[in-house]
Amino acid sequence: MFDTGSTAFMLICTMLVFLMTPGLAFFYGGLARRKNVVNTMLMCLAVVGVVGVLWVVAGWSLAYGGDGSLSFIGGLDQLLALPTVSDLLAETSTPPADATYPSVVDIAFQMAFAMITAAIVTGSLAGRVRFGFAMAFLAVWVLAVYAPLAHMVWGGEGSLIGDVIGALDFAGGDVVHISSGVTGLILCLLAGGRRGFGQLSYRPHNVPFVTPGAGLLWFGWFGFNGGSAFAADGIAALAILNTVTASAAGLASWMVVERVATGKPTLVGASTGLVAGLVVVTPAAGFVEPWAALVMGAVVSPVCYLAISHLKARLGYDDALDAFGCHGVGGILDGVLTGLFCVPELSWTEHGGLLYTGDPSLLVDQVLGIAVTLVVVVVLDLAIACAIRALMGGRVRVDEADEAIGLDVAEHGESAYPAFSGLD
């Protein structure tokens, strides 16, 4: 018999993670300019369709199929999720001894992870990139980058990062945050800056949108991290406690940093700090004590704040909604901190955190795992982006006239706030 409690828990966690992508649409939509809010939100929502279809067609198989003999990618035995029903019937009649819930749940749970990861990338593209280019890139990316990377980290025995290297990633530091943040950076460099970048001040068009978006992300993140325990047990409870602890510390820390830097804490800043705290605890949620989650949340906000407010201006890249500054930078930091704070008894490998053991082995593994992730993502991103740009005649971004009037009208013939001369 399956554990009905764990089955119900995983189903709820799956639904919570699906909620994160609409939440991100609100978060990004509020941060966007008024004339680009429809385009910004639609890029997040369109990911649901693109990734949802491709995950069933091939993504699940490439990430978690096969016999585990390949370190870099899964197999083709799960294409179109064809074995799903037969596996379900077999499990129902004779459940595997070590299974706590039906394996079909994992297909949807991991699909939701793929959706939110691809949606994060769109934040770097806001305001100037053609909708068609973004969707074509992400369609290829989820199969060629995300799925193999998920296999390398979470593919079990023989997987390159998770097993051969021995790096820990509880819920997606490498797979979700570094991959999406670095991809966003590469694409924004390829596209170039928005019209007037470096000369105009870009302000969020709707601050009240940002906070409910962050709230939906926060709520969904409990399923994101808690569900990564894959059972309704003490590790899931620890992951949820660490999630709220790190996010609270990140929010409070960001307000302090803003108060020191500008003299005034802001609602957008508090919301961003909340998300940064969630990012930093993701790979460590089930591995660290609550006091460590508190430290991680307090540390990540000043680091991400400096990346967003200073590094971006210094280097001149237009990461429009700071996907790299929050997820990329925060993801790299969280991987390193996991190597410091991991409780040895909770580790998936034979190594514990440096702070507990005095042994740098896990920290070295974490850094090596991050390095491999960066190489894989950068090389494959550049190859995919260049190929799609060539297929689209070199047109990555809209022309200047369309950018000036806004992508809502130019790309979609729609306006978020239309002005009517008569009655609605």
Residue with tokens 């979700």: 176
Listed range (67-71, 117-121, 212-216, 257-261) with the worst mean pLDDT: 67-71
pLDDT digits (tens, 9 = 90+) for 340-376: 999 999 999 999 999 999 999 999 999 999 999 999 9
Tokens of 417: 């706030």
**In the structure, what pLDDT confidence band is assigned to residue 68 with cuts at 50, 70 and 90?**
confident
Among residues of the chain, what percentage have pLDDT more than 70?
98
Contacts of 369 (CB under 8 A, 6+ apart): 153, 161, 165, 167, 169, 174, 335
Tokens of 204: 């969020």
Instruction: Give the mean pLDDT of the chain.
Output: 95
Residue 122 carries which DSSP code? G
Residue 424 above 60 pLDDT?
Answer: no
Q: Are 43 and 31 in contact (CB under 8 A)?
A: no
Beta strands, E only, 191-343: none
Angle at which helix 361-391 crosses helix 147-154, to 10 degrees, equals: 170
Q: Which of 122, 232, 113 is nearest to 171 (CA)?
A: 113
pLDDT digits (tens, 9 = 90+) for 229-256: 999 999 999 999 999 999 999 999 999 9
Residue 146 carries which DSSP code? I
Q: Where are the alpha helices (DSSP H) in 122-233?
A: 131-141, 147-154, 179-191, 207-226
Cα–Cα distance between 159 and 110 in angstroms, integer?
A: 17
Cα–Cα distance between 220 and 116 in angstroms, integer?
A: 11
> Mean pLDDT over residues 408-423, rounded?
81
Domain boundaries, the chain: 4-409
Vertex 407, ends 406 and 408: CA angle to 5°? Answer: 95
Q: Where are the alpha helices (DSSP H) in 307-360?
A: 312-315, 323, 329-341, 354-357
Cα–Cα distance between 81 and 83 in angstroms, integer?
A: 6
Query: Does domain 4-409 correspond to CATH entry 1.10.3430.10?
Result: yes
Cα–Cα distance between 152 and 225 in angstroms, integer?
A: 19
Cα–Cα distance between 46 and 35 in angstroms, integer?
A: 19
Residue type, 4: T
**In the structure, what pLDDT confidence band is assigned to residue 1 with cuts at 50, 70 and 90?**
confident
Check residue 422 and give its pLDDT: 46
Q: Are 225 and 284 in contact (CB under 8 A)?
A: no
**In the structure, what pLDDT confidence band is assigned to residue 423 with cuts at 50, 70 and 90?**
very low
> Mean pLDDT over residues 104-129, rounded?
97
> Mean pLDDT over residues 371-400, rounded?
96
Residue 419 above 80 pLDDT?
Answer: no
**In the structure, what pLDDT confidence band is assigned to residue 420 with cuts at 50, 70 and 90?**
low
Residue 142 above 50 pLDDT?
Answer: yes
**In the structure, what pLDDT confidence band is assigned to residue 92 with cuts at 50, 70 and 90?**
confident
Cα–Cα distance between 376 and 414 in angstroms, integer?
A: 38
pLDDT digits (tens, 9 = 90+) for 280-303: 999 999 999 999 999 999 999 999
Phi/psi for 324 (5° steps) reads: -70, -45
> Mean pLDDT over residues 206-228, rounded?
97
